[in-house]
Chain A
Amino acid sequence: MENIPGTNILDEVTQGDYKFGFYTDIENDTAPRGLTEDTIRFISAKKEEPEWMLASRLKAFRHWLTLKEPEWAHVHYPAINYQNIIYYAAPKKKEYASLDEIDPELLETFNKLGISLDEQKKLTGVAVDAVIDSVSVKTTFQDTLGKHGVIFCSFSEAVRNHPELIQKYMGSVVPYTDNYFAALNSAVFSDGSFCFIPKGVRCPLELSTYFRINAANTGQFERTLIVAEDSSYVSYMEGCTAPMRDENQLHAAIVEIVAMDDAEVKYSTVQNWYPGDKNGLGGVYNFVTKRGLCKGRNSKISWTQVETGSAITWKYPSCVLMGDNSVGEFYSVAVTNHYQQADTGTKMIHIGKNTRSTIISKGISAGKSNNSYRGLVKILPAAANSRNFSQCDSLLLGDRCGAHTFPYIQARNETSIVEHEATTSKISEDQLFYCKQRGIDTEKAIGLIVNGYAKEVLNKLPMEFAVEAQKLLAITLEGSVG
């Protein structure tokens, strides 16, 4: 049966609730509003940083002052007043030797998010670093990991305890000169996670960091650095949420990954920052630079992301395939509803010989949202026999949302092969009715259809994340049809 005009049930857009919109009332230590060299000195002093770290921040700040905010992304938002943001907010007490010392409110926050910081209770074998606003409050399983020589700690701790590693690797993949938001982050970054997997070690636990913006008017500028030495392996997961607020909040993070010879890093994200309400009020601006360097031969970095949150997403997890035979992968599901805007994709830079990359991007747009895929596949002259395969699919729910694909291909080696496929489809009334006729209600039907569509990507997520992501997809689109 054809679509029946005037009765398009995909037409009606109502509210799907954001589950993580609560705010925790905890005592905060905050920097004064605005951004000057003094702000940076304040942050650095709070963190009791060595002189070299402060110098590096100031260098980045001075560079940032010379830059202009990028405008090429397919997103629209009012100008950000960088002087109106608080660049540092931390629960009063900074680090906790034991769980008992943590503010019960804070513990409750993580419980509500479904994140257990209690190692005794944790049976799933996931080590967690929990970052709230500008500081890491707790990293679990450090002892277990330590026995294997794995370092997993907050970035601040790493600056103090492993300065040689930080100095060697920080900025080696994403230099402060990389882009506007990277420069900003390099100047004001607060906390984040550091992982180091020594040679030959297969990390015995999944590592994961949960980021939570809590305080009002506060930007979140975290930094993650993962270093995988020769023949090591790690799977790392990142999750994030924020309270519901009417004003927009800025999140500008940097993630750097380095993989040496035969090393493999799997990086999974479920991004669920507050997306704003159904009228487009509030929500997080998510401007993130994520890049992995396959430095060694036969190294592999794969990015898997499920993007359901944020008012605006500007994010291109990328791989620089330097080592011969290295492999880069990007699997993405990006969902936008209501007035959300996402401009996301990846860059695969082939430098070494026989390098391979795979890009699978699944965009899902509902409501009045805009969802763009932007990807660059660049094959340098030395990258003989390199290969890329890209597949970019868009799924539309209703007819007031947009899906756009911007694939850029620069192939400068004749022996390389680059393939690109793209499709756009809609959830049809027929599919919905078919499900309903089998007793499945509209919301469940959409969840089912969307999860089916995104299956290829969801399958790449670690088990415990995949289940969460499936639920999240369904929740995000809850109420996206009448």
Chain B
Amino acid sequence: MLLNIKNLHVAINGKEIIKGLNLGVNKGEVHAIMGPNGTGKSTLAAAITGREGYEITQGEIWFKGKNIIGMPAEERANEGIFLSFQYPVEIPGVSMTNFMRTALNAQREYQGLPSVPAGEFLKLMEEKKNLVEIHAKLTNRSVNEGFSGGEKKKNEIFQMAMLQPSLAILDETDSGLDIDALKVVAKGVNELRSDDNAFIVITHYQRLLDFIVPDFVHVLFDGKIVKTGGKNLALELEEKGYEWIKEQYLATSEL
């Protein structure tokens, strides 16, 4: 199993947000995680990627056979975990080219490989830019500076394509995107998709799942996965909302 989360509990400032979550992801799979606002989807992503301030009070996160709890965020990234941020930040004065080269070389150093030669790097940039239809000027600008919401999200997918992670977590990458941008994002994911990697797609809307077809759909509620199904579950959620899930969950937890 690529990722195996067992009985995960995560607290922020002493307040428990994730309350005993189990999730297994195999290579080649796409898992969608859906659920109402504030149920802990981004918190889960933060816990997997090792963001500080997210206290793991119980449980284990296994990735490629290692328990990664306590592993620094940059090491997890270099192990192949990628997060497409819900809110990508701006880094003024740092060109996308410089940023990407630093990231790629950090990854290569971690793998014991020499730095990527400049020519090869630029070629790779060109290739991946085309893939996500990012306008050429984007790579010459500072990281996310002056980017529109949609450009920022495309930029996340571009970085994913550059870094070729084995596990990519997309945190509401589709929110606020028009249909064309959505297709670009989906294309980026589908081109990367292989038997060797996996995706966790966090989303509110079934819409994205028309383009990135998931193997599993999980519903996160109150810090736990309360329902798991196939891609039809997403359709059902779209149609009926989350109320019925809540009711079901509350009814069973009262037992």
Contact with B along A462-475 (1 / 0, CB 8 A): 00000000000000
The stretch of B29-37, B80-88, B179-187, B214-222 that contacts the partner chain = B80-88
Residues of B contacting A28 in the complex (Cβ-Cβ under 8 angstroms): none
Contact with A along B231-251 (1 / 0, CB 8 A): 000000000000000000000
Q: Please tell me if B97 contacts chain A, counting CB pairs below 8 Å.
A: no
If the complex has contacts A5-B13, A436-B72, A438-B99, are A449 and B110 also in contact, measured as CB distance less than 8 A? no
Q: Complex Cα distance A409/B103, Å? A: 44
A440 contacts B91, C-beta separation under 8 Å: no
The A-contacting residues of B in range 69-111, CB under 8 angstroms, are 72-74, 77-78, 82-83, 85, 87-89, 91-94, 98-99, 102-103, 106-107, 110
One of A6, A433, A436, A442 near B13 (C-beta < 8 A): A6
Q: How many residues of B contact A (CB 8 A)?
A: 34
If the complex has contacts A438-B163, A441-B74, A444-B102, are A433 and B51 also in contact, measured as CB distance less than 8 A? yes
Q: Please tell me if A452 contacts chain B, counting CB pairs below 8 Å.
A: yes
One of B73, B82, B92 near A433 (C-beta < 8 A): B73
Q: Please tell me if B139 contacts chain A, counting CB pairs below 8 Å.
A: no
The A-contacting residues of B in range 36-61, CB under 8 angstroms, are 42, 46, 49-53
The B-contacting residues of A in range 405-454, CB under 8 angstroms, are 428-431, 433-442, 444, 448-449, 451-454
Q: Complex Cα distance A436/B81, Å? A: 11
B106 contacts A439, C-beta separation under 8 Å: yes
Q: Please tell me if B12 contacts chain A, counting CB pairs below 8 Å.
A: yes
Q: Please tell me if B142 contacts chain A, counting CB pairs below 8 Å.
A: yes
Between A and B, 8 residue pairs with Cβ closer than 8 Å are A1-B87, A4-B13, A4-B53, A7-B53, A431-B89, A440-B106, A442-B74, A451-B93
A448 contacts B77, C-beta separation under 8 Å: no
Known: A435-B74, A436-B73, A438-B99. 12 other contacts (CB 8 A): A4-B53, A7-B53, A429-B53, A431-B91, A436-B72, A436-B74, A437-B83, A438-B103, A439-B78, A439-B163, A441-B74, A453-B92
Q: Please tell me if B159 contacts chain A, counting CB pairs below 8 Å.
A: yes
Residues of A contacting B99 in the complex (Cβ-Cβ under 8 angstroms): 435, 438, 448
**Taking CB as reference atom, which chain B residue is nearest A438?**
B103
Q: Please tell me if A9 contacts chain B, counting CB pairs below 8 Å.
A: yes
Q: Complex Cα distance A468/B221, Å? A: 52
A437 contacts B93, C-beta separation under 8 Å: no
The smallest beta-carbon distance between A365 and chain B, in angstroms, is 17
Q: Complex Cα distance A4/B72, Å? A: 17
Q: Complex Cα distance A440/B75, Å? A: 9
The A-contacting residues of B in range 181-226, CB under 8 angstroms, are none
If the complex has contacts A436-B73, A437-B49, A444-B102, are A452 and B91 also in contact, measured as CB distance less than 8 A? yes
Residues of A contacting B72 in the complex (Cβ-Cβ under 8 angstroms): 436, 441
The smallest beta-carbon distance between A258 and chain B, in angstroms, is 35
Q: Complex Cα distance A452/B159, Å? A: 19
The 4 closest A-B pairs by CB, nearest first: A452-B93, A4-B53, A452-B94, A7-B53
B92 contacts A441, C-beta separation under 8 Å: no
The smallest beta-carbon distance between B79 and chain A, in angstroms, is 9
Q: Complex Cα distance A201/B12, Å? A: 66
A437 contacts B53, C-beta separation under 8 Å: no
One of B51, B88, B91 near A448 (C-beta < 8 A): B91
B88 contacts A434, C-beta separation under 8 Å: yes
Q: Please tell me if A148 contacts chain B, counting CB pairs below 8 Å.
A: no
**Taking CB as reference atom, which chain A residue is nearest B43?**
A1
The smallest beta-carbon distance between A434 and chain B, in angstroms, is 5
Q: Please tell me if A93 contacts chain B, counting CB pairs below 8 Å.
A: no
If the complex has contacts A439-B163, A449-B94, are A7 and B52 also in contact, measured as CB distance less than 8 A? yes
Residues of B contacting A442 in the complex (Cβ-Cβ under 8 angstroms): 74
Q: Complex Cα distance A455/B102, Å? A: 16
Residues of B contacting A437 in the complex (Cβ-Cβ under 8 angstroms): 49, 51, 73-74, 77, 82-83, 85
The B-contacting residues of A in range 270-329, CB under 8 angstroms, are none
Residues of A contacting B46 in the complex (Cβ-Cβ under 8 angstroms): 1
Q: Which of A7, A433, A454 has the most CB of B within 10 A?
A: A433
**Taking CB as reference atom, which chain B residue is nearest A482?**
B52
A454 contacts B89, C-beta separation under 8 Å: no
Residues of B contacting A438 in the complex (Cβ-Cβ under 8 angstroms): 77, 99, 103, 106, 159, 163
A1 contacts B42, C-beta separation under 8 Å: yes
Q: Complex Cα distance A1/B51, Å? A: 11
A430 contacts B89, C-beta separation under 8 Å: yes
B77 contacts A455, C-beta separation under 8 Å: no
Residues of A contacting B49 in the complex (Cβ-Cβ under 8 angstroms): 437
Residues of B contacting A444 in the complex (Cβ-Cβ under 8 angstroms): 102, 106
A452 contacts B142, C-beta separation under 8 Å: yes
The smallest beta-carbon distance between B113 and chain A, in angstroms, is 13
Residues of B contacting A440 in the complex (Cβ-Cβ under 8 angstroms): 74, 102-103, 106
One of A5, A7, A9, A452 near B92 (C-beta < 8 A): A452
Q: Complex Cα distance A195/B87, Å? A: 54
Residues of A contacting B102 in the complex (Cβ-Cβ under 8 angstroms): 440, 444, 448
The smallest beta-carbon distance between B43 and chain A, in angstroms, is 9
Q: Complex Cα distance A429/B89, Å? A: 10
Residues of B contacting A429 in the complex (Cβ-Cβ under 8 angstroms): 52-53
Residues of A contacting B98 in the complex (Cβ-Cβ under 8 angstroms): 448
The smallest beta-carbon distance between A195 and chain B, in angstroms, is 33
Residues of A contacting B87 in the complex (Cβ-Cβ under 8 angstroms): 1, 430
The smallest beta-carbon distance between B68 and chain A, in angstroms, is 14
B89 contacts A439, C-beta separation under 8 Å: no
The smallest beta-carbon distance between A370 and chain B, in angstroms, is 24
The smallest beta-carbon distance between B86 and chain A, in angstroms, is 9
B85 contacts A439, C-beta separation under 8 Å: no
**Taking CB as reference atom, which chain B residue is nearest A427?**
B91
B74 contacts A439, C-beta separation under 8 Å: yes
Q: Complex Cα distance A72/B98, Å? A: 42
The smallest beta-carbon distance between A318 and chain B, in angstroms, is 27
Residues of B contacting A436 in the complex (Cβ-Cβ under 8 angstroms): 50, 72-74, 77
Q: Complex Cα distance A434/B159, Å? A: 12
Contact with B along A1-27 (1 / 0, CB 8 A): 100111101000000000000000000
The smallest beta-carbon distance between B141 and chain A, in angstroms, is 12
B74 contacts A454, C-beta separation under 8 Å: no
Q: Complex Cα distance A439/B73, Å? A: 7
Residues of B contacting A456 in the complex (Cβ-Cβ under 8 angstroms): 93
The A-contacting residues of B in range 1-25, CB under 8 angstroms, are 12-13
If the complex has contacts A438-B99, A439-B77, A440-B103, are A4 and B12 also in contact, measured as CB distance less than 8 A? yes
A451 contacts B53, C-beta separation under 8 Å: no
